Structure 1
Amino acid sequence: MNKFLTLALIAFTFACKSPEARRPISVKSGSFIDASVERNKKLNAREQALIEKFMTQKQENDYIASESGFWYFYNTKTDIDSLQTPAFGDIVNYDYDVKTLNGSTIYSFAELKTRTYTIDKEELFTGLREGLKLMKAGETVTFLFPSQKAYGYYGDENKIGSNTPLMCKVTLNSITKTKDD
């Protein structure tokens, strides 16, 4: 009986050990993300160089770097300070075309027709959405968008390919202010 009690005590001691953490079957590293970041940095640098080359070839324009990561110049500028730029919810009426940086037309003014857009309430590619907010009624501005501000990796699944920097000439016809209480 004494042996049985000792054996039961030893078995009970080893049976009550604390649980161990399970190890993952596969270990994932950040190598995919690191590689993706590196690819995007190279793509961004390449597009930056293309846009800078374009700007040095066309020095007759006064280029402005936006806070949003694209460049633009005024074809027609309104110097009337009383005119306002559109704000959230305002409705804008505009015309635009889309070209490659070498000047090849992708979509003409006639193809795209006059558009109406409610600021920040409808779908529009990032660069144009931000660009319209910089304009006053009656102005025409040419924007130079790197691909991440245009149609990015997927393009428009029609005429604009993957990772294509774009040049868009935009005329803002009117701004209809809305009241948000």
Structure 2
Amino acid sequence: MNKYLIFIAILAFGACKSPEARYPVTQKSGSHISESIAKNQALLEKEMQLIEAVINQDSTREYQSSQDGFWYTYNKKSDDTTNTITPEFGDIVEFDYSISTLNDEAIYAEGEKATRTYAVDQEKLFSGLRQGLKLMKEGETVTFLFPSYKAFGYYGDKNKIGTNWPIKTKVTLNDIKEKEEIQNQE
């Protein structure tokens, strides 16, 4: 009987051992990250050269650089000095847009995309357009030049826009319903 008690005691103490961490057999040096950074910097530089070429070829318009990393020009600017409202978080905007390559080859032509209603910063929309809408006033039409990281990036739109495509987007902001106005209607 003593043999069994000793055997059970040994098993009990042996089972109480805490698990040990398993370490990887090989360790990466981080060179993949460095290569990825270099590749993305080269891609961005190439896209910036393409965008600069578009801007230089279009001498009839004045392009502005946004602090968010894209360029834009007004096709139709609001002359109404009392119209100072731009979309903010929670506002509902209605807009039309078209998307083309930087060489003006239509990807989604005007009218191909239905008029879009969008709750600012509360719905999914590619980052460049989301930021660009915030620069616009009701009734304005703006052409945006987006590098791929501000457009559809690595994945494209899984339809007509491929991997890492810089794009040109023409947007007309039809209506802004401010958050307060929406809350008062409810």
- Please give the TM-score of this superposition, normalised by the length of structure 1: 0.85
Q: Matched residue pairs, number?
A: 161
Residue 88 of structure 1 aligns with which residue? 89
Residue 153 of structure 1 aligns with which residue? 154
Other structure's SS at 1:127 match: helix
Residue 14 of structure 1 aligns with which residue? none
Provide runs of 4+ in structure 1 moved above 6 Å. none
Return the letter of the residue paired with 2:161: I
Q: What displacement does 1:132 show?
A: 0.3
Deviations, residues 92-139 of structure 1 (Å, cap 9, x unaligned): 000000000000000012210111000000000000000000000000
Q: What displacement does 1:28 show?
A: 1.5
- Mapped partners of 2:158, 2:95: distance in 1: 23
Alignment of 1:5-154 (within 5 A): 25-83=25-83, 84-154=85-155
Q: What displacement does 1:23 show?
A: 7.1
Q: What displacement does 1:80 show?
A: 2.6
Whether 2:169 is the aligned partner of 1:168: answer yes
Other structure's SS at 2:143 match: strand
Any unmatched runs of 5+ in structure 1? 1-21
Other structure's SS at 1:110 match: coil
Return the letter of the residue paired with 2:147: P
Any unmatched runs of 5+ in structure 2? 1-21
Return the letter of the residue paired with 1:40: N
Q: Which has the larger radius of gyration?
A: 1
Q: What displacement does 1:59 show?
A: 1.3
RMSD of aligned residue pairs (Cα, Å): 1.7
- Mapped partners of 2:117, 2:53: distance in 1: 33
Other structure's SS at 2:132 match: helix
Q: What displacement does 1:159 show?
A: 0.3
Q: What displacement does 1:79 show?
A: 2.9
- Mapped partners of 2:113, 2:99: distance in 1: 9
Q: Answer with 151-160 or 74-83: which moved more.
A: 74-83
Q: What displacement does 1:82 show?
A: 2.8
Residue 10 of structure 2 aligns with which residue? none
Return the letter of the residue paired with 2:134: K
